[in-house]
């Protein structure tokens, strides 16, 4: 039998184990490679550690500054709470929710910017090409924008509504799709309580217009309808006196922002005249002022003897409060309609007794 043996070009067998000298050469090459690159690795690791430390410290400082700023806003709102200025300009719950929403947005933006910049810097230190990564992120952002455009629209609309202070908690608004009192303002959804107690969840992106009835000032308008033959100057003086009395009493002196004005006649008919009266009030308090003003005008008219529409004119010598038709009896149903006496108001005499009737018959 013949045995075939294979040999390499250098005369060694491939099955032969590596010699000790070759192992030493390989080890020395690895040690030399590590010795050449360890300084670069150490420098890169230190730079990455320094970037992380700076990013975390900067993020903590920025978030703490934002938190202190929001807390100062809340303390300012609480300092004027319960005063006339606080009731006029400041709603604590509104300021608190608005400041918390603004603080949440600012903290999120600060964290995203700082940590995102740190991550990109670390990738550049590791010699990673950022162009493909940025291109992929751009494509993902476009896809997210198309897929969740309603969510992005709601979020951006909520951010601008809060920053511009278009409305807040406690305001009465008309959002087009719903109206009511604002009970919560979020970055995506605003909660309104309707007139019947229902709660409306309105997406901020669906709001095309906002009618805020609680900003600036409101108008309390009262129409006073009197008889056509009343003295207008006397009615004007009476209304102005009632308005002056209202402006001096609490709490109406704080809710009225101007004197009660008589604008003049709004309409004139054969039976009545309508006098238009209005006054500037605190936002959201117009309805209560209107009711109280009507109440006082009615009492003042009664004291001044001014009659409203529907009142019966008093005859000379008649006592006020008595009905002139109270003494007129109802017409008789048994009377002949052709007889002139049937139209009189005399009642039918009562029938005679049985004894009297028998005596008359016997005679």
Confidence of residue 57 (pLDDT cuts 50, 70, 90): very high
Report the DSSP pairing between strands 211-212 and 199-203: unpaired
How does the average pLDDT of the chain come out, rounded? 74
List, for residues 258-293, the tens digit of each pLDDT value: 888 888 888 888 888 898 999 888 887 888 888 999
| Rounded Cα–Cα distance for residues 95 and 83 (Å) | 16
pLDDT value for 9: 52
Neighbouring C-beta atoms of residue 123, cutoff 10 Å: 14
pLDDT surpassing 60 at residue 18: no
CA end-to-end distance (rounded Å), the chain: 183
Q: Cβ neighbours of residue 169 under 8 Å, at least 6 residues apart?
A: 91, 93, 94, 97, 98, 182, 183, 184, 185
Angle at 34 between CA 33 and CA 40, to 5 degrees: 105
What strands, in cross-sheet order, belong to the sheet with 272-281?
218-227, 272-281, 261-268
pLDDT surpassing 60 at residue 222: yes
| Rounded Cα–Cα distance for residues 337 and 335 (Å) | 6
User: Can you count the helices (H) and strands (E) in the chain?
Assistant: 9, 8
List, for residues 223-246, the tens digit of each pLDDT value: 888 888 888 889 899 999 888 888
pTM recorded for the entire structure: 0.48
Query: For residue 243, which of 252, 233, 234, 251 has the smallest C-alpha distance?
Result: 252
């Amino acid at each position: 039998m013949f045995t075939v043996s294979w040999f390499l070009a250098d005369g060694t067998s491939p099955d032969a184990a590596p010699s000790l000298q070759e192992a030493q050469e390989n080890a020395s090459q690895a040690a030399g490679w590590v010795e050449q690159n360890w300084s670069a690795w150490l420098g890169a690791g230190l730079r990455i550690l320094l970037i992380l430390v700076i990013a975390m410290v900067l993020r903590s400082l920025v978030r703490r500054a934002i938190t202190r700023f929001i807390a100062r806003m809340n303390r300012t709102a609480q300092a004027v709470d319960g005063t006339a200025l606080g009731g006029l300009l400041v709603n604590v719950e509104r300021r608190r929710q608005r400041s918390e929403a603004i603080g949440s947005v600012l903290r999120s933006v600060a964290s995203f910017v700082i940590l995102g910049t740190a991550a990109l810097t670390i990738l550049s230190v590791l010699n990673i090409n950022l162009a493909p990564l940025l291109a992929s992120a751009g494509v993902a952002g476009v896809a997210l924008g198309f897929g969740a455009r309603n969510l992005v629209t709601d979020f951006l609309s909520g951010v601008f509504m809060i920053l511009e202070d278009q409305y807040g908690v406690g305001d009465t608004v008309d959002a087009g799709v719903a109206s009511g009192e604002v009970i919560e303002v979020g970055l995506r959804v605003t909660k309104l309580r309707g007139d019947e107690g229902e709660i409306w969840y309105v997406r901020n992106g669906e709001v095309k217009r906002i009618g805020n009835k609680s900003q600036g000032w409101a108008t309390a308008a009262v129409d006073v309808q009197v008889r056509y033959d009343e003295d207008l100057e006397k009615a004007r003086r009476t209304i102005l006196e009632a308005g002056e009395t209202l402006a001096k009493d609490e709490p109406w002196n704080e809710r009225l922002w101007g004197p009660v004005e008589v604008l003049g006649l709004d309409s004139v008919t054969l039976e009545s005249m309508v006098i238009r009266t209005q006054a500037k009030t605190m936002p959201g308090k117009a309805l209560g002022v209107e009711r109280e003003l009507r109440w006082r005008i009615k009492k003042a008219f009664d004291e001044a003897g001014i009659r409203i529409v529907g009142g019966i004119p008093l005859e000379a010598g008649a006592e006020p409060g008595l009905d002139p038709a109270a003494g007129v009896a109802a017409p008789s149903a048994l009377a002949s309609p052709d007889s002139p006496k049937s139209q009189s108001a005399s009642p039918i005499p009562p029938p005679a007794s049985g004894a009297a009737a028998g005596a008359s018959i016997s005679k």
